[in-house]
Each structure stands twice: as C-alpha cells, then as structure tokens.
Amino acid sequence: MVHLRIVVPADLAPRVMDLLCGSASVLNVVHLPGASHKPEGDLVMCDVAREDASVILGDLKEMDIPRLGSIAVENVDTAISDAAKAAERAAPGLPSDAVVWEEVEQRTSETTELSASFVTFMVLAMQIAAVGIILDQPILIVGAMVVGPEFGPLAAVSVALVQRRGDLARRSLVALCVGFPAGILITFVTVLAFKWAGLPPEDFAPDRHPLTGFISKPDFFSAFVAFVAGAAGVLSLTAAKSGALIGVLISVTTIPAAANIGLAAAYGDGGEAAGASGQLAINLVAIVLAGVITLFVQRRYFVARRHRHLTDPARGAAGLPMGERVKRPRANG
C-alpha cells in the first residue's frame, strides 16, 4: 500500500474526495477541513493499492494539485485490514511488480546532482580499486564497486531517455562527466605517489594482475553481465528492493575499470589503459541500454493501464474528462 497526504484548496476538496471515495483501490480516506496552513487548504489523506498509485496520482495532477497545494507519498509496510485486501484485489497485478513512477522520478533525481559527496565517493571508490589492482585482491575490487555511486546517475539517464526528461539527463551526464575524470585523475596522482614512495610490490606491472585482469579485458561476457546487471538494477530501483541493488553494484566494473585507467597511465602502459577504457565504455553503454529497455516495457504497461483508467466512473464524479487520453504533467524534480 501507498499512503498519500494531500493538501488541497477548500473549493477543490470535494472533487478530490469524490475521486478517492469512488476508486475501488483507495481506502482509509480522511478529510480534515482547514487543517493545513502552509499552504492554506484542507488536508486529505488516504491509502491506495501500490498498483494504482501512479494512476491516482495522475488524476490528482490533472486537477493541478501539485501547483495549488501539495502531495506527499509514503510507503505503508504493513496494512492489517480486510478493506486493504479488497483494495489490492481491485487493482490488477501484484504489488511487488507495481511501479510508482513519481517515486522513481524522485529517487533518481536525488542521485543525479553533481555534489561534493558524489565526487568524493567516486574518488574514494577508485582509490580502493587502485589498491585492489596493485595487490591483485578481488575483495578490494568488490568493495570499490559497492562504494561507487555511479549507478544512480546511470539509472537516471535511462529514466530521462524513456520519459524524455532533458533536465534529468543533463544533470546525470554532468555528474558522470565530472565524477569519472576526477576519480581517474586523482587515482593517477595517488599511484604516482605510491611509486615515488616505493609502496607497490617490486614485481608489479599494470598488465600482470591475474585475479583482477578482467578489469582491462573486455569481451562478450563483460557486455552481457553489464546488460543483465543494468536490467536488474532498474528493476530493483522501480521495486524499491535495495538488497538486489547491492548485488548489481558488485556485478559491474565501472569503478575498477576507471581506476585502472589512472593506474595504467601512471605506469605509462597505454595498452592497459586502452583496455580499461574499453571495459568502462562497454559497461556504461550496456547498463544504460538495459535500463532503457526495462523502463520502456514497464512504461508501456503503465500507459495501457492509465488509458483503461480513463473510463473509471470515479473520474467523472471528480469532474475529470472520461475516455480521453490526457497528457500527464511531468515532474520538475
């Protein structure tokens, strides 16, 4: 279930109540007249089956409520009620497969900003990866993959392409185009400092780290794993399954490959740097491509569901057009 907290102007509240009370997938509708003071208006609260959350939110957006008031969305972990079971039965599909698109947009928007913390995590992750390559320790490579924050902007690029969100695409690409070069450059400087201090093993060479050699040797399996991981990552994002996302981060070699570029450059090994660059490019393209395909399929299913909802009598009771395809407002975040 999803909980909605809606602040709506008093003159619009009856329409909102008609919509919510007339929708079979909505329950626990509460109306508190004049309860909100910033912004001014009535407070309406309800729970809605996750499968229909974006559909109902689309209706509320048609009423221009985000501009006139506000909508807060929260997940309900446990609902003990026969009415809740009936609401979920009224919404076709399974809650575990449902996508709350507004939630996805907000989550990806939060991870796309170019910030000091994003760049810092990129740099720190590549430092761990560089040490992992020098010592040929896969466990450090895994650690670097988990620390790296790059999947957020990559997923946001996929969302932006599917929803045609130019603002989101620009913010994501800026974060990636600054974060990766910054990490590579600082890794280059760090490895030079390691060499000057005589810290790497005497027999170390950029092209001789057999346990972690996959970082700079792209092949079919590199692209396949990145594609599958990209699809799994987007599914974990849309289903809010953080455990699966951790597995995705461990599966892709973006951070280790980027770190290896800086390390190989510090040792003057152009071939190793080129191989790592190829691995990085393959991973980035495959992840975004998989994300776009996965989101496109999910989006088509939602659009069909939304179109069927346009004939719901609850829309007519709320004064919304019936049986017409309405263009949904896009989020600004």
Q: What are the tens digits of pLDDT across the range 125-158?
A: 999 999 999 999 999 999 999 899 998 899 899 9
The verdict on residue 205 lying in a domain is yes
Tell me: pLDDT of 329 over 60: no
Q: What is residue 130's three-state secondary structure?
A: helix
190/228 same-domain check: yes
pTM: 0.83
Tell me: pLDDT of 4 over 70: yes
201/284 same-domain check: yes
Average pLDDT over residues 26-34: 95
Total number of domains in the chain: 2
The verdict on residue 141 lying in a domain is yes
The predicted pLDDT at position 324 comes to: 59
User: Distance between alpha carbon 302 and the CA centroid of its chain, in Å?
Assistant: 17
How does residue 245 score in pLDDT terms, banded at 50, 70 and 90? Answer: low
143/291 same-domain check: yes
134/269 same-domain check: yes
The verdict on residue 265 lying in a domain is yes
Last residue of a domain, one of 40, 68, 96: 96
**Report for 89-103, 209-223, 232-246, 276-290: range of highest mean pLDDT:** 276-290
Q: What is the pLDDT of residues 165-193, one digit of tens each?
A: 888 899 999 999 999 999 999 999 999 99
Q: b/e per residue, 42-68, with b = 16+ CB within 10 A?
A: bbbbbbbbbbbbbbbbbbbbbbebbee
144/50 same-domain check: no
Q: What value does the mean pLDDT of the chain take?
A: 88
Contact 302, 54 (CB under 8 A): yes
Tokens representing 159 are: 């969302």
How does residue 120 score in pLDDT terms, banded at 50, 70 and 90? Answer: very high
The verdict on residue 313 lying in a domain is no
How does residue 247 score in pLDDT terms, banded at 50, 70 and 90? Answer: low
208/121 same-domain check: yes
- In what helix (H) or strand (E) does residue 93 lie, and over which residues does it extend? none
Q: Which of 279, 282, 252, 222 is nearest to 151 (CA)?
A: 252
The predicted pLDDT at position 178 comes to: 96
Contact 272, 207 (CB under 8 A): yes
54/130 same-domain check: no
89/138 same-domain check: no
The predicted pLDDT at position 206 comes to: 86
Tell me: pLDDT of 5 over 90: yes
Which residue range forms the structural domain that includes residue 232? 105-301
